Structure 1
């Protein structure tokens, strides 16, 4: 007997009716539509039309604008094909409950609300666009609509709170496996939670945990990956340090298949950790360790600590050998190459 799959599609309430009307007007015409025509249809100024077009571009709509000719809709966002995801994950712990948003503040925030309300382990929250996505240390995570993978999963592990952070390592290893089964990109992991291709960041993990005393109630694993983002779509300040899988391999990547493969890899790695502990995930992390034997600077509350990264210990802490040969362990901190 086939297990039932719950898929909830949530339409954005952030896109105004006027923006929807702009898209409808552009869809109606195979050519250019002047800003004057759009402003007359909507009863707004041409400057307001321009602002709506600019906002729509951020949402993944490719709108060409030429002075004195107007605007032309060239392409709409390519959305995830949820039936492909559900088919590939059928029978998986991550194949039973999905919530799909075309636009959301943050998948992690939504997943936390669902977890608090009792949503089952394995629930997957997916978004095409995040308006307030964030990464570790509160840094903002940006991705053009329809170009990356932005999702969070709910876990309810039988772990003490002191070991919950190890699921970051499990998730990073699983994401790397999933990417490598779908693409030619070789993925390394920069402690504690970044996915690197070459010397540039392609994705990251954000773990959030809730529990009482020494019992974990739930864990949210948020994963963001630059999949088909073009160089020009990257924020200017990240163009030297970030990369997408398409940029790395030269080929577009099927995001639906990639998401399913990562979810399947995460299930395997998670169940392994639950049953046998974290040894296998630690071993694979060490094989993929981007920082190993490199000179690093670790920013702590007391200031910067400089030394050579020598790996991670069995608790997932970063090991840094200082100039006088003493090895220091770091459970947190912002790490950069020195």
Structure 2
């Protein structure tokens, strides 16, 4: 059985288990035309994706928690046909950034469309800033990428991750999140723990049209026994008492970015700085900037119009730009 067929089968198996009931291995084997051992192997493969599936002798298999699966129809409800055609929903991918990167390379500049979106249920090779692995359990987070072309080159993108962070944070506020904060240059925090990360990858010439692939990973309902994350983290279910829909959240984020990106292209970061300042995690606090072996201590004084972090040391304020810099509380 080839890889694509296996993924399709496991998706159907997951949809079956997603009703919250127990399903015996014998019944599943008969339903899918497989042996019980083959069903068992597929259940184990789903478990490797971060899904918690109970296996009880005499009763069969049951999904521990019902999953709010992504739906293209739900996400695109009310959109124009042209807009809906920009949105693709995948099952398991290497990374959503990779999908859009490959598509942008295959299409000519005229064919590529601003606002192309890819969402997925799981990533096998999700990554964050500086090549770090982004742990991507199945159906537990928002794995999201959007393609946007900037005709005026890299200069037109200055502060892009800042703007995306503001849009993401404002989108969360529309769903009732009031405690999330923005950590320079590309993270969203909740209760001083990481809630989301942003990864911008760029293709093109410095002085010509460039394609930015905006990757967003937002923790929604992470498994209790999740391994592989080396920092404190939280998810949306911890910040919200009321239920929320992955599909509604995806739709709103897409629409908000579609609205914000043309504004950013035309006016730069200025329209978004006030919102950043209001949500700045470390503004007017002592922080340490870390770049390799170098450490600089000072007081964070917000950002400038290019998105640089303003750090005050010895009564002087100096801008620092993203790159390889990390910010930590002093």
2:102 to 108, 113, 116: 113
How far apart are 1:69 and its partner, in Å?
A: 4.8
Question: Is the CA contact 1:185–1:197 (under 8 Å) kept in the aligned structure 2?
Answer: no
- CA deviation after TM superposition for structure 1 residue 115, in Å: 1.2
- Structure 2 spans left out of the alignment, 5+ residues: none
Conservation of the 8 A alpha-carbon contact between 2:119 and 2:144: yes
Deviation at 1:72, TM superposition (A): 1.5
CA distance 1:115–1:248, change in 2 (3 Å)? same
Does the 8 Å contact 2:115/2:147 carry over to 1? yes
**1:104 alignment partner in structure 2:** 93
In structure 2, the CA distance between the partners of 1:94 and 1:189, relative to structure 1 (3 Å rule), is farther
Q: State how 1:298-313 maps to structure 2 within 5 Å.
A: 298-313=289-304
Distance 2:106 2:88 in 1: 14
Aligned to 2:169: 176
Instruction: Give the 3-state SS of the residue equivalent to 2:209 in structure 1.
Output: strand
**Among candidates 77, 80, 83, match of residue 87 of structure 1:** 77
Shift of 1:178: 1.2
TM score, norm. by length of structure 1: 0.81
Relative to 1, partners in 2 of residues 1:14 and 1:157: Cα closer, same or farther, differing over 3 Å? farther
Mapped to 1, the partners of 2:14 and 2:247 lie a distance apart of: 25
Change (3 A) 1:147 1:69: same
1:59 is the counterpart of 2:49? yes
- Which residue is 1:235 aligned to? 227
Do the aligned partners of residues 312 and 26 (structure 1) sit closer, same or farther apart at CA in structure 2, a change above 3 Å counting?
closer
Within a 5 Å distance, the mapping from 1:156-167 to structure 2 comes to 156-167=149-160
Contact 2:148–2:212, Cα closer than 8 Å, also in 1: yes
The equivalent of 1:188 in structure 2 is 181
Contact 1:19/1:52 (<8 A) preserved: yes
1:5 maps to none
In the alignment, the residues of structure 1 paired with residue 280 and residue 15 of structure 2 have an alpha-carbon distance, to the nearest angstrom, of 49
Deviation at 1:18, TM superposition (A): 8.6
8 Å Cα contact 1:209/1:216 also seen in 2: no
Task: Identify the match of residue 258 of structure 2 among 248, 254, 267.
Answer: 267
Task: Name the counterpart of 1:281.
Answer: 272
Structure-1 separation of matches of 2:181 and 2:148:
24
Distance change in 2, residues 1:210/1:88 (3 Å): same
Instruction: Report matched runs for 1:1-338 at 5 Å.
Output: 13=4, 15=6, 30=22, 32-33=24-25, 42=35, 52-59=42-49, 61-66=51-56, 69=58, 71-74=60-63, 77-90=67-80, 95-118=84-107, 119-230=112-223, 232-235=224-227, 237=229, 241-322=232-313, 324-332=314-322, 333-338=325-330
Partners of 1:170 and 1:13 lie apart in 2 by 37
Moved more, 186-195 or 159-168: 159-168
SS class of match (1:102) = strand
